[in-house]
Amino acid sequence: MRILIACPSYPPQDVTCGVGDYTRCLAEELARQGEQVTVVASAAWRGPADGGVSVLPILDEPAPWWRVVAADVVNLQYTPDLYRGRRRALRATFATPAVVTFHTLVDATLASGAAALWLLTSARHVVAANEEVSGMVRRRLPWLARRMTEIPIGSNIATTPAGDRRVTRAALGVQPRAPLLAHFGLVYPGKGLETLLEALAILKSAQPDARLVVVGDTRESERAYRGDLEALAVRLGVARAVTWTGRRPAADVSRILGAADVFVAPFDGGASLRRSSLMAGLAHGLPVVTTSAAVPSPYLRDGDNIALVPPRDAAALAARLAALLAAPAARTRLAEGARKLAARVAWPAIAEETRAVYRRVLV
């Protein structure tokens, strides 16, 4: 098949979001499986392309980009923030056939709700990248569910050989036996980092050697927020126990995660499989502590493949972390469950399910 994928954010860029990383992983795996893949990105793309994928940074140009490349199917990767000021690009859904992959449906604006409804009704088929999207469609637009397939996302960080944990820890200034917590992902509000810092301060009363490494870039628009977090760490007395790595190559991220004892992702809104950073923790076989969502995920099972605590509850988070750090068997059980779940959403399986959707719309 000749597949044309549209995503404004596509790596390498100065700052890449999770949807861009998802698109890269999907496009490269589709190419490995023998498909001809072209990605249309914004001018922010820095090149070059990898993995047998062609990239055209023309999405924001006046000409209809979907007419530039001959394709059998067009797949638009959608989340509202990526298409603010890019409404013209959404007209690709009039291309035949068109598939829209929804990573989120709406934000707080009326315009995003209208755009989502338009895309849902005009696309030949919809891919829901997580249970939040598919659940919302089934509740509010049940008649569209027959044209929707749920395909969860995978980790955006490939696992690499862990190497010597002591070397990695030493590079972070962490002692070989010190409890090491890891958080990964773009630093911005909603990730629960305030709760995590508060929980670390509580945890250190029982585990004085505990350390936290925060692996992830910060957008220019969030620099002040990052500064606020660093100031909070100072007020809480944990600044010296926190390492902010900033942006790191994927191989470095994988090695750092491999050197950690627990992965912590206390999202303010609760966990779901739309969180590519969460998937990275699972894929690296780490015991993962995260937060429960208002609508529980059928994939995330407390005590089996994940440990859940209430959002914005530093005391509960600290208690769960302390309990896990004191119980190697519990950490091993969670790590095994994490690996099993990660295998269910590995990229070869995701790409094959997506190819099946493409074949379906071509019939």
pLDDT in tens, 17-40: 889 999 999 999 999 999 999 999
- Reported as a pLDDT band with limits 50, 70 and 90, residue 357 is very high
The pLDDT of residue 185 is above 70: yes
What pLDDT, on the 0 to 100 scale, is given for residue 261? Answer: 97
Phi, psi for 127 (deg, rounded to 5): -110, 125
Residue 344 has a pLDDT of 85
165-344 CATH choice from 3.40.50.2000, 3.30.70.1450, 3.40.50.300, 3.40.109.10: 3.40.50.2000
Instruction: Tell me the mean pLDDT in the region 331-360.
Output: 94
Q: Quick one: average pLDDT of 128-132?
A: 89
Of 214, 343, 22, which is closest to residue 335 (Cα–Cα)? Answer: 343
| 247-251: average pLDDT | 90
H/E stretch holding 38 reads strand 36-40
Q: What pLDDT does residue 13 have? A: 86
Alpha carbon 68 to its chain centroid, in Å, reads 30
Residue 45: per-residue pLDDT: 95
pLDDT of residue 116 exceeding 80: yes
- pLDDT above 70 covers a percentage of the chain that reads 99
Q: The domain 2-154+346-362 is classified under which CATH number: 1.10.10.10, 3.40.50.2000, 2.30.110.10, 3.10.129.10?
A: 3.40.50.2000
pLDDT value for 108: 63
Terminal-residue alpha carbon distance, the chain = 13
In sequence order, the 6+-apart residues with CB closer than 8 A to the CB of 137 are 105, 120, 126, 128, 144, 145, 148
CB atoms within 10 A of CB 356: 11
Mean of per-residue pLDDT scores for the chain: 92
The pLDDT assigned to 162 comes to 67
Query: DSSP letters of 328-356?
Result: HHHHHHHHHHHHHHHHHT-HHHHHHHHHH
Query: Residue 74's beta-bridge partner residues?
Result: 4, 98
Beta bridge partners of residue 215, listed in sequence order: 184, 246
**Once rounded to an integer, what is the mean pLDDT over residues 131-136?**
88
> Which token pair is 314?
């530093």
Assess whether pLDDT exceeds 70 at residue 175: yes
* Structure-block tokens of residue 149: 């397939």
Q: Output the pLDDT for position 92.
A: 83
Give the 3-state secondary structure of residue 227.
helix
* Least confident residue range of 102-116, 284-298, 312-326: 102-116
Asked if 156 and 19 touch (Cβ cutoff 8 Å), the reply is no
pLDDT score, position 150: 94
Domain 2-154+346-362 matches domain 165-344 at the CATH topology level = yes
Residue ranges of the domains in the chain?
A: 2-154+346-362, 165-344
pLDDT in tens, 284-294: 999 999 999 98
- 53: exposed, middle or buried (Cβ count in 10 Å: 0-12, 13-18, 19+): buried
Q: What is the pLDDT of residue 107?
A: 72
Q: Tokens 């969670």 identify what position? A: 334
39 closest CA partner among 26, 54, 19: 54
- Measured distance CA(239)–CA(241) in Å, rounded: 5
Interior angle at CA 103, CA 13 and CA 181, nearest 5: 70
- The tokens describing 336, both together, are 């095994």
Mean pLDDT of 311-316: 98
Q: Where are the beta strands (DSSP E) in 166-280?
A: 180-184, 211-215, 242-246, 262-265
pLDDT for the residue 290: 98
